[in-house]
Amino acid sequence: MFIISGPSGAGKGTVIQGVLAQRPDMKLSVSATTRPARSMEIEGTHYHFVSDRDFALMRERGEFLEWAEVHGNLYGTPRAEVDRQLAGGQDVILEIDVQGAVQAKAAVPEALLIFVEPPSMQILRQRLRDRKTESQETMDRRVSAAHEELRRKNLYDGVIVNLDVGQAVQEMLSLIDQLKERDG
| pLDDT tens figures, 24-49 | 989 999 999 999 998 889 999 889 99
- Residue 101: count of CB within 10 angstroms of its CB: 25
pLDDT tens profile 5-19: 999 889 999 999 999
Q: Residue 130: which pLDDT band, with cuts at 50, 70 and 90?
A: confident
Return the beta strands (E) in the chain as ranges.
2-5, 26-28, 32-33, 48-49, 64-70, 73-78, 91-95, 112-117, 158-161
Domains, the chain, ordered by start: 2-183 (3.40.50.300)
Q: Residue 184: which pLDDT band, with cuts at 50, 70 and 90?
A: low
Question: 114 phi and psi, to 5 degrees?
Answer: -125, 130
pLDDT tens profile 73-128: 999 999 998 999 989 888 999 998 888 899 999 999 999 999 999 999 898 888 88
pLDDT at position 32: 96
